[in-house]
Amino acid sequence: MSETEKINKTDVGAESVSDTSDGKAKRKPLDKKKRAILIAVICVALALIIAGTVTAVVWLTRDEDGNATVPSELKRYSYYIDPSDTVGFYIDDSFKGELALDELVCTVKIPAAGVTLADDLKLYVSGEPVEGAAALYEYSYKNVTVAVVNVTVAAIDGKIGNASALTSLSGSGTYVLTADIDMTGVTHGIAYFSGNLYGNHHEIKGLGIAGGLFTELYGAHISGIEFTSVNVSAATDLYGNYGVIAGTARNSDISYCTAEGNFTLNAALSKNDIIYVGGLVGYASSIGRKNEAFDNLKLISYCTSRLVIDVKATGDVKIGGIAGGIVNTSLRECRNYGSVAFTGTDAANIAGVYFGGLAGVLTKEYDQVNSFTELDEGARLYSYGDLKVVVSGDNGGITVFAGGIFGKVENHSLANVAFGGKLEVTLGKIASYTGGIVGIAENSTLLAMRLRGAGIAEDSVIGVYSLYNAYAGGIAGRFTGNVTYEKITGSVMPVITTDSSSNTGLHVASEAVARNENA
């Protein structure tokens, strides 16, 4: 029974009722003793209500005022520990905000024999773990999960604790960062690497290499590195691949990495030179799928960008918050909170633009489509940043593809994707396809390419200014081939504007999909 209900029932029970001669009920006054008891009961009850209300307000303020105490974003971690590491190390504790550790509940979702994550967040080997064993822990506050911690047992070949040791990496092997590393002023990265580098969520600070910490990864796995205070400011006249972690990643996995800071690149290229610019990776590729049992699927997963990316370039441009261009690798659980801007000042020297909040273009290849029942799928992809494309001049022979998630996605289904930012496209006499999720979704296979569980936040802005053919949709600018969409959780009406003195061009805006063409 609530305190309010107690008060009401006490009030009724404290009074006696008698009949009067006119048939109306008359309330009999309480004597002094009963009145004093009633007043005391009411005072106690009101005190309890006020105390409870104050407590609720304090907790509400504590939880929601600037997110000072409770993290507003679920944090995911991936740690690696050598099977002989009985000393261990402490994992990152930033997920708890200002809460004390004993206010959090730790649940061991998957145990691993011989591995211990103590109450004070120290991770160590306590027995004889099997190499490759994996454990999973969840930390929650008031039944809300605030952190998920993955732990894997892996034999470590070497420990990296400074910039010199890091830039000396080459070949293969498995290495782990044991300290934060300051890369400020370092002008060269690692040319080639085909091993494993586990950051265990240490920071690499001040990286300023446009071509990435790794020029090329091949058959590698990079995991759990926090790139902070990125400070790239470069100019080039050479085509190539540019990103914070790697310029090029072939047959490689990248997971649980984040990047924040500034990435500025000016590239004066010939018209047909291709340039890939991504927040984490410039260009990622792997081999096509042979059949559904083929287990060589490579992923960029659980990665986040908070970079401010600003690219000015000519040539054939692919640019995205996570990756510039992707072939046969998939994206899973990736987010962009940063801003991405592209400026092309000379349309005559631009062959095309593919621009997305996560990736400029993602393409999937299948060796034998008839051996598949469905296409690969990217899931839980989100973009919340400000995205801006400006191309000046006239070039009716090129097309700009711009999307909140992808500029172009081909032969690859998407599930649970969302855009919640601003997408602005300003063009001269240039054709364009613009969408809140994708600029163009294209399927050249016989299987259905599905887009499901997509949403555009109602306060998002999608705006196109163009003097030529412009198609814009809340979800996509254009669908081609066998593309289906379902469970659209939200959309917005794009706004297309043009110079009132110009009658050139076709301008189509749709709340969902501007144009649906089935080849």
Q: Residue 41: its pLDDT value, please?
A: 40
Residue 290's pLDDT is 76
Residue 312: is it exposed, middle or buried by C-beta count within 10 angstroms (0-12/13-18/19+)? middle
Q: State both tokens at 9.
A: 């029932």
What does the alpha-carbon distance between residue 56 and residue 72 come to, in Å, rounded to a whole number? 19
* Residue 480 CA: distances (Å) to CA of 110, 415, 452, 513: 43, 18, 16, 11
Q: What is the pLDDT of residue 368?
A: 72
Contact 207, 242 (CB under 8 A): no
Q: Using one digit for the tens of pLDDT, what is the confidence trace for 401-451?
A: 999 999 999 999 999 999 999 999 999 999 999 999 999 999 999 899 999
CB-based contact 152:110 (threshold 8 Å):
no
State residue 490's pLDDT score. 87
The Cα 274–Cα 317 span in angstroms is 6
Cα–Cα distance list, 237 to 180, 267, 342 (Å): 33, 6, 17
**Helix, strand, coil percentages, rounded to 5, for the chain:** 10, 50, 35
Neighbours of 233 (CB within 10 A): 12
| H or E element in which residue 42 lies | helix 32-64
pLDDT of residue 108: 97
What's the pTM? 0.84
Tokens of 121: 């967040």
pLDDT of 2: 37
Residue whose tokens read 């008698």? 18
- How high is the mean pLDDT in each 10-residue block of the chain (519 residues)? 32 31 40 47 39 29 36 85 97 93 96 96 95 96 95 97 96 97 96 98 98 98 98 96 98 98 97 97 92 79 98 97 97 97 94 98 86 88 97 90 98 96 95 96 93 93 92 93 90 84 65 56
Q: Please answer whether residues 399 and 408 qualify as being in contact, where contact means their C-beta atoms are separated by less than 8 angstroms.
A: no
The boundaries of every CATH 2.60.40 domain in the chain are: 75-153
Helix (H), strand (E), coil (C) string for 321-358: CCEEEEECCEEEEEEECCEEEEEECCHHHEEEEEEECC
CB–CB of 336/385 below 8 Å? yes
Do 335 and 302 touch, CB atoms closer than 8 A?
no
Q: Which fold has domain 75-153?
A: Immunoglobulin-like (2.60.40)
Phi–psi pair at 288, nearest 5 degrees: -70, 160
DSSP 277-309: EESSEEEEE-PPB-STT-----EEES-EEEEEE
**CA pair distance 276, 400, nearest whole angstrom:** 15
Residues with Cβ within 8 Å of 31's Cβ and at least 6 positions away in sequence, in order, are none
Q: What's the confidence (pLDDT) of residue 70?
A: 43
